[in-house]
Amino acid sequence: MDSVFANVVQAPEDPILGVTVAYNKDPSPAKLNLGVGAYRTEEGKPIVLNVVRKAEQLLVNDPSHLKEYLPILGLADFNKLTAKLILGADSPAVLENRIATAQCLSGTGSLRVGSEFLARHYHQHTIYIPQPTWGNHPKVFTSGGLNVKSYRYYDPTTRGLDLQGLLEDLNAADAGSVVLFHACAHNPTGVDPTPEQWEQIRQLVRSKGLLPFFDSAYQGFASGSLDEDAQSVRMFVADGGECFIAQSYAKNMGLYGERVGALSIIWIFTWFFKPALDWKYWFRHEKKVCKAADVASRVESQLKLVVRPMYSNPPIHGASIVAKVLKDKDLYDEWTAELKGMADRIISMRQQLFDALTARGTPGDWSHIIKQIGMFTFTGLNAEQVSFMRNEYHIYMTSDGRISMAGLSSRTVPHLADAIHAAVTRVA
């Protein structure tokens, strides 16, 4: 008898994960995988940060650290510290209790929980995402019950930001629509707005009554500074408006397989003011603070209803590592040093690749490689050139020409530069 599932259609491979599948099948010793979104050392190896190993050992040696179920919204210390990391400890949203945070399954899970919450409790069910964006974004938001539209973001002629197109598209969006922004290190392009451009975007978003949803997957991993990489988010939070933030510790703490992340929802006060950091502020605005706490309670109660049937509650190990690192000054300082080391190595790879292409006289302007930021570079190579590089040089990347700079090393840069030069000169 045939299985009742005999008519199930074979699904296509994920375009990003499929790159690694093809790479693993290639027997060539010269093969190079630039599709994977994970950091590699100069030797091309995965890394576990020293500070993570120390935190894990502290947890192992702590008899009070158990393996019991976490609450539905996760580890309380983790949630508080994670919100402060992206917003800043002195953020009005933190001081005024205008934030609800849920530990989720890394960035993807945070986006998914946020989209379902919006589908249930927000009057607009349309989200605008940048074109291009991470390939999983439209799938996550559609599965969460939102209608996905796009806004212009990348200009292929300049290999930079299409600010005019972005502003025009958001200005034409229906009032109240949700807008996805990459907090920093835009994936896949590596193109971020300048602070001045972010301010133009913020003003338009607030004037149109749009709801910003930030995906922060690379805080500290782009520039090497946790504060600098959070500036876009903090700019929007500082104006007193509402926003959603999805965070991940996959890249910046190397906790890829632990699936550690968080969703934070920030709402508005009746009016916005800069609080004094003393008891008089709380006394003067007690009713406002209580009102915010009431909103927090109701938002958290509904987040629980989203999470409970989805995965019940999040895992404890990764969140405990993060909380341990963020609470301990010595561990925190060691983490930020290791984080800057990873970011600096990626920046160095950009410069080395640019220098190698320049030395070969490769046709075209390759300055976008050093102007872009973060893990990925949008090379500008077309699908035919990408296919040529795979077949002739055993270099693997996504068909849109995105490469992971974190997968490069000083040893492999010349091989990649040779392949790009050949592709540009021999393939239209």
**387 neighbors 365 (Cβ within 8 angstroms):** no
DSSP label at residue 226:
T
Do the bridges between strand 32-33 and strand 395-396 make them parallel or antiparallel, or are there none, so unpaired?
Answer: parallel
**115 neighbors 144 (Cβ within 8 angstroms):** yes
Indicate which residue of 134, 162, 335, 366 is catalytic: 134
284: amino acid identity, one letter: R
The answer to whether residue 134 is catalytic is yes
Q: Which two tokens stand for residue 169?
A: 């598209």
**256 neighbors 283 (Cβ within 8 angstroms):** no
**416 neighbors 362 (Cβ within 8 angstroms):** no
Q: Which residues contact 359 (CB under 8 A, 6 or more apart)?
A: 417
Count CB atoms within 10 A of the CB of residue 41. Answer: 12
Q: Which residues contact 196 (CB under 8 A, 6 or more apart)?
A: none
**215 neighbors 249 (Cβ within 8 angstroms):** no
Sheet holding 126-131, edge to edge: 99-105, 260-266, 243-248, 211-216, 178-182, 126-131, 147-152
Q: Does an H or E element contain 32, and which?
A: strand 32-33
**316 neighbors 71 (Cβ within 8 angstroms):** no
Q: Which two tokens stand for residue 173?
A: 């969006």
First to last CA, the chain: 52
The answer to whether residue 215 is catalytic is yes
Indicate which residue of 215, 229, 335, 366 is catalytic: 215
Residue with tokens 């703490």: 253
Indicate which residue of 54, 162, 169, 251 is catalytic: 251
The answer to whether residue 400 is catalytic is no
Look at residues 174, 176, 137, 175 and name the one whose alpha carbon lies nearest to residue 153.
137
Give the per-residue SS3 of 175-214: CCCEEEEECCCCCCCCCCCCHHHHHHHHHHHHHHCCEEEE
What is the per-residue DSSP string for 106-162?
HHHHHHHHHHHHHHHH-S--EEEEEES--TTHHHHHHHTT-EEEEEE-EETTTTEE-
Q: Which residues are catalytic?
A: 134, 215, 251
